[in-house]
Chains A and B, each alone.
Chain A
Amino acid sequence: MWLALAILGPIEVHAQTTPDTLWIQLNEVTLAGDTMPALRFCPSMDWDTVNVSFYVNVGQSYEVVVFNGDSVDHGFELGVAGWSAVNLPAGESTVVELPELLEGSYRYGLSSERGRVLGAAGVIVAGFDALPHFHWNLGDWEPARMWGVANGGAVDPEAPYVPRQFTVNDRIFPNTLNDPFGHVQIGVGTSCYITIANQGSMDHVLHFHGFHVEVLQASQHPERVGWTKDTMPFLQGEVTVVRLDAFQAGMYPVHNHNLIAVTNAGLYPGGMITHLNIAP
């Protein structure tokens, strides 16, 4: 099974590819000069700085093997009502049964503080496959806090949070434009879905230039389904799906409007910015 997964390679946009094994790996990432420890759900034994997000069919259950390559036990959590975290012993493989999912996008990750702070989290998309589907996992990172947790410490709840890096799919701008899963590139007159998951330790808010989008799902703002917005919040852990109808061509930024988050280690522009690239 692991061998089969090892040759799958990166998950393609709206490819409906479901991995049969996820590898939790501990390593380091460097963003704009800040090196920090990181936990990732990788698609193979090889270290990958980007968490896997993947697509499943609606109403179909799956078995996924999760190998915990970290030195401590973790719990696999899934943003589905009634779901109980599955224990993942350190250094072992565990079979996780994913339930039959309704159409929607769901956050998965690790339930421990260590898992959250070090960034092991992705999304599972069920359905929403009639159009190209992109996804944005939003992250915020304070290296000092991450090093403390990686070295066995706990987050001091009294300490102010001072994130220095802000990411979309574990990338900072302008590297976000090299992301085939996040950099929206479609033609004028066409449409796409975008899943947006806040995997960070604070709330975020994104503003779309050039377009309004229709909210199809907002896990913590259900009253907003059906709204048409250009700026929308994403609470911690929230997963949102929007539909973009590309009525005009051009290059349009999408960025965090809490403007500390459009920086890389304090430098503007950077961080949580990507583009909508609408071809004529």
Chain B
Amino acid sequence: MNMLMHFPKCFAAFRWVMLLCGGLALAPSLAMGQALPPQLYSEMDGIHFLDDGSSVTIWGYGWVTDGFITLPGPLLTYNEGQSVDLNFVNPSPESHTIHLHGLDVDQANDGVPATSFLVPTGGDAVYSFVADQAGTFLYHCHVTTTLHLTMGMYGMILVKRPDQTLFEGGPAYTEDAPFLFSDLEVATNLDPVGSFPFHDIRPDVFMINGKQGSQLEAEDERVWSAPGDTVALRLGSMAYSRVRCHFPPELHAVCHMSDGRALPESFAVDSLDIFPGERFTILVAPEEGFEGAVSCDYWNMIDPGIEDTQHIHFGALPSSVQALGDFGAACGYPNPASRWYHPAGAASGASNGFEGEVVVTDAQGRECFRGVLQNGRLDVSAWPNGAYVARCGDRQPTRFVVAH
């Protein structure tokens, strides 16, 4: 843990500079053009669009290099055994933290203000830990948690193994499909100051990865699988509701992990309850041509009853896409990507030793990019949302997603 106070109180101007410069102002020791280490920041003036076209204010996390926050926050991906320094800067008007939910970090890095530390306005911090267990985890702010969570300050963490197995001795799979359940109360998000008392919060918007209804039917929100694919559904909940997922038999769903630990015995699953803060890893092997959905009921925890149902939609990829390659350990970063994607796996901007030609194709096999990487990264900020395949010379092709 290392908390530094670098910034003046005039953070409004600071924020402007930060966003304008894509974060370079945060690291004066770095020369212009030199890439920054990935750094999360928090903000309290985000806008989130709901399925009906209306919008609510959100508080949340984003990458400094992106310059905007998202709901949920960025997916954080680490390798099993990796020593992590998670950089965080808080230019927002209130103090925040990052609690690394389920990673069993020590007290100093736990993100609880009373027992760890606050990151005040204008402050920054480094959360240090070892990602010693593969699995699905969460992160969220632990300041006035009841309010800060419903406002949107949360995200998912994946700790992966390089051999693309779920855990040591566990099953292999083709790709990850992370889904974070959450909900919010519109009245609270529109007027957080007036949200007291907190025990009255009753969500009325129910989301998967921040999306709902027809938003989840979009092509880039679906799980696309080719014949023979085994997809790891990484399910986690930051909701106030209990989420009951119903898996169609065509998915052949098997539950292997919960809360970042292998289960003593995996089991076939047709429905599964996920309570707030829980995570499950489900392997699905969709039957060829399957196009359906996992339906997810949001149950009121206080007065039991179904409040809403959302869906995780599946689509079938043509078999020609599967033939593009034997997808091994994905090494690109970040995935999903919204602005920059590092096909060779180096988040810091180096090319991870790869200097050759990179070829990227979309889910239909159409070539989108061919060339040598500049600073080890692709600018995907103008690319359509969707799944892509990157080939770096003789290396195993990797699949990644662009999501804006």
A residues apposed to B, CB below 8 Å: 160-164, 202-203, 205, 207, 209-212, 223, 226-233, 248-253, 257-263, 265-269, 275
Contact = CB atoms under 8 A, between A and B. Distances in A.
Contacts of B115: 250-253, 275
Nearest to A160: B303
Nearest to A251: B115
B302 interface: yes
Among B104, B264, B273, chain A packs the most CB atoms within 10 A around the CB of: B104
Contacts of B147: 268
Contacts of B263: 227
Contacts of A263: 146, 197-199
Contacts of A248: 104, 106-107
Contact of B107 (A160, A232, A250): A250
B198 A268 contact: yes
A231 B259 contact: yes
B146 A259 contact: yes
Interface in B38-96: none
B394 to A, nearest CB: 40
A214 to B, nearest CB: 10
B149 interface: yes
Contact of A205 (B107, B200, B261, B277): B277
Contact of B301 (A203, A223, A249): A203
A229 B105 contact: no
Interface in B85-129: 99, 101-102, 104-108, 110, 112, 114-115
14 contacts: A163-B199, A209-B99, A212-B259, A228-B259, A233-B278, A248-B106, A252-B110, A258-B240, A258-B276, A259-B198, A259-B276, A260-B198, A266-B198, A269-B145
Nearest to A211: B104
Lowest 9 CB-CB distances: which A-B pairs, in order? A266-B197, A250-B107, A257-B277, A231-B277, A205-B275, A233-B275, A259-B146, A228-B261, A257-B276
B293 to A, nearest CB: 25
A210 B107 contact: yes
Interface string B156-183: 0000000000000000000000000000
Contacts, number: 132
Interface in B177-204: 196-201
Nearest to B149: A259
Nearest to A209: B110
Contacts of B273: 233
B112 A253 contact: yes
B313 to A, nearest CB: 27
Interface string B241-279: 010000000000000001111011001000001011111
Contacts of A163: 199, 302
A260 B199 contact: yes
Contact of B240 (A233, A259, A268): A259
A182 B127 CA distance: 30
A139 to B, nearest CB: 14
Contacts of A160: 302-303
Contact of B264 (A210, A226, A253, A268): A226
A254 to B, nearest CB: 11
B144 interface: yes
Given A161-B302, A211-B104, A248-B106, 17 more contacts: A160-B302, A162-B199, A162-B200, A203-B275, A207-B277, A212-B102, A212-B104, A212-B260, A228-B261, A229-B278, A230-B101, A231-B259, A233-B275, A250-B106, A259-B145, A268-B145, A268-B146
A227 B240 contact: no
B146 A260 contact: yes
A221 to B, nearest CB: 9
Among B146, B264, B303, chain A packs the most CB atoms within 10 A around the CB of: B146
Nearest to A233: B275
B213 to A, nearest CB: 24
